[in-house]
Every structure is written in C-alpha cells, then in structure tokens.
C-alpha cells in the first residue's frame, strides 16, 4: 500500500476533527486533495471512534462511482476494509467502524422529509460531504438530523471555489475559520506539466479553480442573453 503523506489541507481537516470543531469547511482548487482528505478522515475516525458508523455524502451516484469509490478502494481496501454494494457501506473489520455512502439527489417534487439520508444511524457523530458547490445547505441540515446518536457532532464540508459558498458561511457563523487552499497545496502529488497546462485556461477560470480566487459574476444579464433566449 502507498504510504499516506498528508498535505496541509488534509492535515488541517484532521486537526479540526481532533479539536471537535462543529463545522470543518474547506473551499479549495482543482486537484487539491479534497476527496482524499475525506478518505483519510474516515481512516482517522475508524481509529479514534472505533466501532461507530459515519456518513459520506456526494451529489450523485455517478460522481460517487467515478471519484469517491476509486479513492476509497485505493486507501481502504488494502487495510482490510470491505464494501457492501447492496448496503452502500464500507466496513473496517479491525475496528468495527463503518461508513454509509449516499448520494443526495432529491427531486423538487418530493418533500424534504423524503431524502436519501433518512433512517441512517450515524453513531460516530460525523458526516463528510463532498462537492458542496453542487449541493445546497439542505444536505447539511438533513445530515445533522442523522448525527444525534453520536458524540461531538461534526460536519466536514468540502467544495470547489465559488463566491458566497454556503459551507464557508456555515463555518463562519459558528466562529470557525474555514480552510482556503489553492491547487498548489497538493503540488507534491501533481505534475508540473499539469500546472503549466492550466495557464491555457481563461484568466478568471484559472484564478478561481487553481488559485482559489473566485470573482462574482459580472454582466450576468447580458451573458445570459443569447440567440436561444430570443426565440419565442
């Protein structure tokens, strides 16, 4: 198994768990190691809160299958964790710890009480949410309802750079400093050629997604007015 060496973002998330921060919010650039940070947090929780179950949430099942699942297979399976596809649950047979994996998609026609997190018993008190920029604060509120059985409820929220990020606001409302990192926080694990290639991006997109400096949209009315909008 590859040796685990945490980058500064991942270390700060683990420190937040150790401090029992209520909200750990990270807004970080492409390739910064956000998803790996969640997996490393799961490993840390399995040792520090053994025999408990945690909850891992992303926006869609395809995203879980293509992004989260490979990272979990990479780091958890070599340590003896197994995955139950029917239950969508990883289990650490050494500590008895478990992780429920769910995608949070609720059609607008359904009530908020009918959501994918209902009925889960999260005894570790920890929920980890990936791709927060694609979700709304509703997912965090519903997750909190599942943490009541565990000690020291903690929400770990990570997402890409967007203006007025709700998960960042959530941490600040609790007087907890959010984490801001550019893609360069994970420079040891990314090729120099990739960083060089990102210089071909439009300047504002590179500033947002690589340097973690998103700007509010400008001229929005005119940008959304196109040929399609003129057709009636």
Give per-residue pLDDT as tens, 71-130: 999 999 999 999 999 999 999 999 999 999 999 975 443 445 556 788 788 999 999 999
pLDDT at 30 over 80: yes
Could you tell me if 25 and 167 are in contact, meaning their C-beta atoms sit under 8 angstroms apart?
Answer: yes
Mean pLDDT of the chain: 89
- 152 located within any domain: yes
d(CA 83, CA 91): 6
Name the residue with tokens 């209520």. 22
CA distance 116 to 143: 10
Q: What is the pLDDT of residue 218?
A: 65
Q: What is the mean pLDDT of residues 120-143?
A: 94
In a domain, 3, yes or no: no
Q: What is the extent of the structural domain holding 118?
A: 8-230
Q: What are the φ and ψ backbone dihedral angles of 61, each rounded to 5 degrees? A: -65, -45
- Phi, then psi, of 24 in degrees rounded to 5: -115, 105
In a domain, 141, yes or no: yes
Residue 134 lies in a domain: yes
Query: Does residue 92 form part of some domain?
Result: yes
Residue 150 included in any domain: yes
pLDDT in tens, 45-61: 999 999 999 999 999 99
* Residue 115: HSE in the Cβ half-sphere, 13 Å Cα cutoff: 22
CB count in 10 Å sphere of residue 211: 14
- Residue 95 backbone dihedrals phi, psi, to 5 degrees: -110, -15
Rounded to the nearest 5 percent, the helix, strand and coil shares of the chain are 40, 15, 40
For the chain, how far is it from start to end, CA to CA, in angstroms? 59
User: Is 94 part of any domain?
Assistant: yes
pLDDT tier, 187 (very low <50, low <70, confident <90, very high otherwise): very high
DSSP 39-50: HHHHHHHHHHST
The reported pTM is 0.88
Q: What is the CATH number of the domain that holds 144?
A: 3.40.50.300
Which pLDDT score is estimated for 183?
Answer: 98
Residue 41 lies in a domain: yes
Domain count, the chain: 1
Tell whether the model's pLDDT for residue 225 goes beyond 60: no
């Amino acid at each position: 198994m590859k040796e685990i060496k945490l980058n500064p973002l991942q270390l700060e998330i683990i420190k937040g768990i150790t401090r029992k921060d209520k909200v750990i919010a990270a807004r970080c650039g492409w390739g910064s190691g956000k998803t790996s940070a969640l997996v490393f947090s799961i490993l840390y929780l399995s040792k520090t809160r053994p025999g408990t179950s945690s909850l891992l949430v992303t926006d869609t099942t395809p995203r879980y299958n293509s992004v989260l699942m490979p990272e979990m297979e990479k780091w958890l399976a070599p340590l003896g964790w197994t995955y139950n596809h029917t239950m969508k649950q990883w289990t650490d047979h050494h500590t008895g710890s478990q992780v429920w994996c769910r995608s949070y998609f609720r059609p607008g026609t359904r009530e908020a009480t009918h959501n994918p997190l209902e009925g889960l018993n999260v005894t570790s008190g920890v929920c980890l949410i990936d791709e927060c920029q694609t979700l709304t604060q509703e997912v965090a509120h519903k997750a909190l309802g599942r943490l009541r059985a565990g000690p020291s409820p903690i929400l770990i929220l990570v997402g890409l750079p967007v203006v007025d990020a709700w998960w960042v606001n959530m941490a600040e409302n609790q007087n907890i400093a959010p984490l801001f990192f550019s893609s360069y926080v994970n420079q040891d694990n990314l090729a120099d050629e990739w960083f060089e290639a990102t210089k071909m991006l439009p300047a504002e997109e590179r500033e947002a997604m690589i340097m973690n400096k998103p700007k509010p949209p400008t001229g929005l009315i005119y940008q959304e007015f196109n040929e399609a909008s003129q057709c009636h």
